[in-house]
Structure 1
Amino acid sequence: MSIVLVVNSGSSSFKYQLLDMTRQAVLASGLIERIGQPLGAGTHTVVFPPAAPGEAAPTVLDATYDRELEIPDHFAGFRVMLQAFAEHGPSLDECAPVAIGHRVVHGGARFFEPTLITPLVEINIEELAVLAPLHNPANLAAIAAARHAFPDVPHVAVFDTAFHQTLAAPAYTYAIEKDLAARHRIRRYGFHGTSHKFVSEAAAQFLGRPLEELKQIVFHLGNGASVTAIDGGRSVDTSMGFTPLEGLVMGTRSGDVDPAALFQLGRRAGLSIDELDELLNKRSGLKGLSGFSDMRDVLAGRERGEHDSTLAFDVYVHRLRAYAGAYLAQLGGVDVISFTAGVGENAAPVRAEAMATLGFAGVRIDPQRNAVRSHGIRVISTDDSPVTVLVVPTNEELEIARQTLQVAAG
């Protein structure tokens, strides 16, 4: 078996998955959270394989184990994870990882592919923390803990920004004074790259068409949301920019706002830079408009006829349509449009309304197909639609594991 452990770390938590890449199947997953708080928590789930065709259903279903204890730092978190594997399985002696894959949020303009982690790479990730102060330090903390726990296997960094390193200069350049921008590395980087890469490749494979021949638009709609124009497997434009704040309306983030509005709030409302940062990142988006950050709550409020929820939904969809139109122009037409992540995969009204005005571009949604929910890739456009519209469940952990294994094997 080719076993890969994937780690996705935040400042006070980390998620992990142990994958058998021979079968591309999850063996176990878990979450270590509330790191550094008085009482931390660990959740570990052992995944049992489904029955093979013709076999009886397994007598044991997936098993989840929870515990609460003090977890002062990421090193302690990894000890909790290792103990969970030892007590509940699968055994890391029998299923020893051949490599560890780490999600790293920001690779700047330096990292454009998955990279074997060395002390020099760690220094670079730390230096790039100025561009992602909430993420890169947490990623480094998990890398240090993982290298201590697994010192004899390669560790690979997979960067959220890497997929967007194919953006051309006109797409990534902001029209501000060029020397100042260069000194402070102000440019558009893009995020959610691992998901956009996975979904665009999965869509091509599902349709049985060469990736290199397809023009695609991928909507990654979760609590964070972004859309990417992909031509022949290459990102050519994306909605998130210097940070993940730019672009679409999100759960708590505003997306695009006229910068002069912030000047006004600073001068007239007396908001500081930190207060403006909190406003746009934590108190805006769907939450700022409706009081709800979860699209499910917004949709329920809309069904009840609540004005604020209806407006929040309409603003959200308006921005989706605006970017869809822009990327149709950038690509010169589109072959495939895909929806992914929590909202994209589950909110049929969002998909229907986002596509409702694109008939001129050959987009025709089948209402019955759009209403169906399933766990796999599915077509939601009509059979005669010139543009194929898909729902594609994303799997960032699997994509990280694939890239990790390629680096480790090479």
Structure 2
Amino acid sequence: MWTLVLNCGSSSVKVALLNPDSGAVALTALAERLGQGGAALRLDVGGEPRAVALAGGSYPEAFAALLRELDALGLRSDVSAVGHRVVHGGETFSAPALITDVVLDAIRACSALAPLHNPANIAGIEAARTAFPDAAQVAVFDTAFHQTMPEVAYRYAVPDAWYRQHGVRRYGFHGTSHAYVAQEAARMLDRPLAELNLVTAHLGNGCSVCAVQGGRSVDTSMGLTPLEGLVMGTRSGDVDPGLHDFIARQAGLNLDQVTAALNRESGLLGVSQLSNDLRELEAAAGRGHAGARLALDVFVYRLAKAVAGMAVALGHVDGLVFTGGIGENAVAVRAATLARLGILGAGVDDSANARAVRGVSGTISAPGRLTTLVVNTNEELMIARETARTLGA
């Protein structure tokens, strides 16, 4: 039997049809530009890509096209469950949940915490319940893994009423990825996860680090929203909270405009004034582009600083894990980060580091230094596994 994994965004749906036990993938798909012109469903079945135009560009139309493809492959009746990535579960959800009307209402109640994400997740859930009425539907939350953080790690030093009445606290994100790569790291090291203290670094257009103690998140860099923490592709990461008022007065911006700039015009893009794509920045820095060089240096410095900070939560660090599009491929970024982490005993094996790209996992640390791994994340497989585990329970 197969599990269909759905990751629904505001204008896209990522799809994977997997066997949660073997990890076999029967189909992957991406419906993009939903609600816009030129919407299409792009599929890959057995390494053969093709596209299906979506004239109306709606979620129901995308799911109808997906159903036709599954029917053509003879797989529709084999879909026993649908696993949904849901960005924010607030304090309500500390584990995946079988989706009922009550659960769906609770996800809606968390929408104020993730107004750009949860409504899209909900639209996908509603479309999937219509498209697959006989399949069990499970929500897997980005925030759930971090619900094991102690209060000292998740509370902000703000008026207590803000937390009690409005849920203002640190939640963390990328939980599915952090959980998956921690498990994979333990397998690669042939050590029980329960005995390991790991720092996992998920680095892509969005970036976060996590302190994983015995398989449980005890601290992470993202907070109330995915804007807190590391420098990212277009997100600022940590800034002085007084910045909002200052730049609003100086530049004549309103709160929405400041928030939008910190989310969409900052990070690598803002510093470099060139691109949010790290590959482009590395090429430009090699040609002498000062903004690109500065953006890379700021990214690495803030990353190393955050990794070292996670050691406070762990007491000692047994291993560091790089993952995500940047973490799995940016050889120079990994080397530069480890060069700044001498305080943790880090050191890089240049040959091993150079080999760990394009899907190659492995150890990249020099002998006798802090064990450092590159692990390819697989959030879709983790969601499928969590879906199966939830239904089994």
Measure, in 1, the Cα distance between the counterparts of 2:99 and 2:336: 44
Question: Are 1:332 and 2:315 counterparts?
Answer: yes
Q: String of CA shifts for 1:261-317, please: whole Å, max 9, x gaps.
A: 221111121110110111000000000011210000111111112110010011101
- Answer whether contact 2:244 2:255 (CA < 8 A) is retained: no
1:356 partner letter: A
1:77 to 51, 62, 71: 62
TM-score, structure 1 normalization: 0.93
2:147 to 149, 160, 165: 165
- Answer whether contact 1:248 1:254 (CA < 8 A) is retained: yes
SS at match of 2:76: coil
1:377 to 361, 365, 382: 361
Q: String of CA shifts for 1:316-356, please: whole Å, max 9, x gaps.
A: 01101111221122212201100000000000111011110
Gap change, CA 1:22 and 1:329, over 3 Å in 2:
closer
1:382 partner letter: A
Question: What is the aligned-residue RMSD (CA, Å)?
Answer: 1.2
- Answer whether contact 1:105 1:159 (CA < 8 A) is retained: yes
**By how many angstroms is 1:125 displaced?**
0.5
**By how many angstroms is 1:181 displaced?**
3.0
Q: Counterparts in 2 of 1:360-399, with a 5 A limit?
A: 360-372=343-355, 373-385=357-369, 387-399=370-382
Partner residue of 2:95? 113
Q: Which runs of 5+ in 2 are unaligned?
A: none
Partner residue of 1:203? 185
User: Which stretches of structure 1, 4 residues or longer, exceed 3 Å deviation after superposition?
Assistant: none
Partner residue of 1:50? none
Partner residue of 1:156? 138
1:86 to 71, 77, 85: 71
Partner residue of 2:392? 409
Question: Are 1:37 and 2:36 counterparts?
Answer: yes
Question: Are 1:99 and 2:98 counterparts?
Answer: no
Partner residue of 1:285? 267
TM-score, structure 2 normalization: 0.97
Paired residues in the alignment total: 391
Report sequence identity in percent: 48
Q: String of CA shifts for 1:48-67, please: whole Å, max 9, x gaps.
A: xxxxxxxxxxxxxx111112
- Answer whether contact 1:34 1:71 (CA < 8 A) is retained: no
Measure, in 1, the Cα distance between the counterparts of 2:110 and 2:178: 22
- Answer whether contact 2:301 2:340 (CA < 8 A) is retained: no
- Answer whether contact 1:28 1:90 (CA < 8 A) is retained: no
Measure, in 2, the Cα distance between the counterparts of 1:406 and 1:180: 35
**By how many angstroms is 1:110 displaced?**
0.6
SS at match of 2:328: helix
2:48 to 59, 63, 76: 63
- Answer whether contact 1:37 1:70 (CA < 8 A) is retained: no
Q: String of CA shifts for 1:222-244, please: whole Å, max 9, x gaps.
A: 00000001111111110000000
Question: Are 1:16 and 2:1 counterparts?
Answer: no
Is the deviation greater in 173-182 or in 200-209?
Answer: 173-182
Measure, in 1, the Cα distance between the counterparts of 2:359 and 2:221: 27
- Answer whether contact 1:39 1:71 (CA < 8 A) is retained: no
2:309 partner letter: A
